[in-house]
Amino acid sequence: MTKRTLTVGFIGLGSMGSGMTRNLQASGFPLVVTDVRPEAAADAVSRGAVWVDTAAEVASRSDLVITMLPTPRHVDQVLRGPDGLLDALPQGGTWVDMSTSVPEVAERARADRPDLRVLDAPVSGMSVGAANGTLQIFIGGDADDVERLREVFEAMGEPERILHVGGHGAGYAVKLMINQLWFSHLIATAEVLSVGVKAGVDLEVLRRALVASPANSNFVEHDVLSILDHGDYDEGFALALACKDLGLSSDLARSVGMPYELSGLVDQQFRRAKAMYGERAGEMAPFRLYEDLLGEPLRRAQATAGVAR
Ligand code: NAD
């Protein structure tokens, strides 16, 4: 294992952060960590990470600090106050926010501390990608900072999927737009399949016709099969976090003065599903809204399942 010279501070060792810190350690980076739940960091500490009680201590003992927190509000909490990152980062220090968030929080931080090197670097790939070190990472900020920290990103993601997508805020925007489009595909597919089935068409015949048509999508070809074959609505990513992302996506559209009619509609359907099936239901649970209207789950017959995949 290569011994690395950069000490990485890491705040937020939840579903994603726990895998990411394991991979940073496996790549030889010394870590300084904290979380509001000390038990979340127990594994990292058992592998040699240094535990500290506050974000300020993380900042003063690391060469760069990564945050991986649920929402912009949590990121702001960690930045501010006497124990916060912002006052404790050294002159010219580096902060990388890998949370799915919106640009405002980091913009305010950069206004308060113009000397800091700041990158937004949200990810795709779910907790399994975090655990396997195969995340896709969308980075906004200065190119020289991206190159300087490339070995850190490569410890957590696949090298060819670590993308410098533009200036500050571009990483957040790309991540939110990917989620927005995927959630829109989910609702559109649920509607089309349930109407077609209600009209008397066989589910798999309809799906294959869609796959062979100009209306095909990755969702209808691949992702929907976890529901149609296994009734799996992906509880690895909670509906509460999906609703958070859709809300942030609408906030982003509003902040740049663009209409967001479709996002608003998809957002409302996800919120309806959260009210009906609970915050911890899987991110694909809104599909069930249509299954409930149909009066039966949409499932492929097992005999055809293997053939069409
Ligand atoms: P999580 O809730 O599992 O983990 C967040 C961690 O942050 C928790 O351990 C929590 O205790 C800690 N935390 C909260 N407030 C804190 C504070 N003030 N100080 C220190 N620690 C604090 O969330 P997650 O699933 O790991 O997601 C993290 C981010 O990654 C979110 O923005 C999410 O949208 C995004 N994301 C998640 C997934 C996924 O599949 N889970 C995939 C891609 C992106």
Give me ligand 1 centre to Cα 12, in Å. 6
Give me ligand 1 centre to Cα 19, in Å. 12
Task: Provide the pLDDT for residue 195.
Answer: 98
Task: Map out the domains of the chain with their CATH numbers.
Answer: 8-166 (3.40.50.720), 174-304 (1.10.1040.10)
Q: Identify the DSSP state of 157.
A: E
- Which ligand 1 atom is at minimum distance from the Cα of 124? 43
- Which ligand 1 atom is at minimum distance from the Cα of 135? 43
The model's pTM is 0.92
Task: Provide the pLDDT for residue 308.
Answer: 41
Q: pLDDT digits over 194-223, tens only?
A: 999 999 999 999 999 999 999 999 999 999
Structure tokens at 129: 């990608």
**Pocket of ligand 1 contains residue 127 by CB under 6 Å:** yes
Active-site residues: which are they? 175
- Which ligand 1 atom is at minimum distance from the Cα of 244? 34
CA dist 137 and 91 (Å) reads: 26
**Pocket of ligand 1 contains residue 178 by CB under 6 Å:** no
Task: Provide the pLDDT for residue 309.
Answer: 34
- Indicate whether 109 pLDDT > 50: yes
The protein residue whose alpha carbon is closest to atom 27 in ligand 1 is: 70
Q: What is the helix (H) or strand (E) element at residue 94, kind and residue range?
A: strand 94-97
Instruction: Say what percent of the chain tops pLDDT 70.
Output: 96
Instruction: Say what percent of the chain tops pLDDT 90.
Output: 92
Q: How confident is the model at residue 306 (pLDDT cuts 50, 70, 90)?
A: very low
CA distances from 115 to 94, 97, 143, 200 (A): 9, 16, 16, 64
**Pocket of ligand 1 contains residue 241 by CB under 6 Å:** yes
- Indicate whether 58 pLDDT > 80: yes
CA dist 270 and 297 (Å) reads: 18
Q: pLDDT digits over 130-171, tens only?
A: 999 999 999 999 999 999 999 999 999 999 999 999 999 999
Q: How confident is the model at residue 307 (pLDDT cuts 50, 70, 90)?
A: very low
What mean pLDDT comes out for the span 94-114? Answer: 95
The protein residue whose alpha carbon is closest to atom 17 in ligand 1 is: 36
Q: Where are the alpha helices (DSSP H) in the chain?
A: 15-26, 42-46, 55-61, 72-79, 85-88, 103-112, 126-132, 143-148, 150-156, 170-198, 203-211, 218, 225-230, 239-255, 261-277, 287-294, 302-308
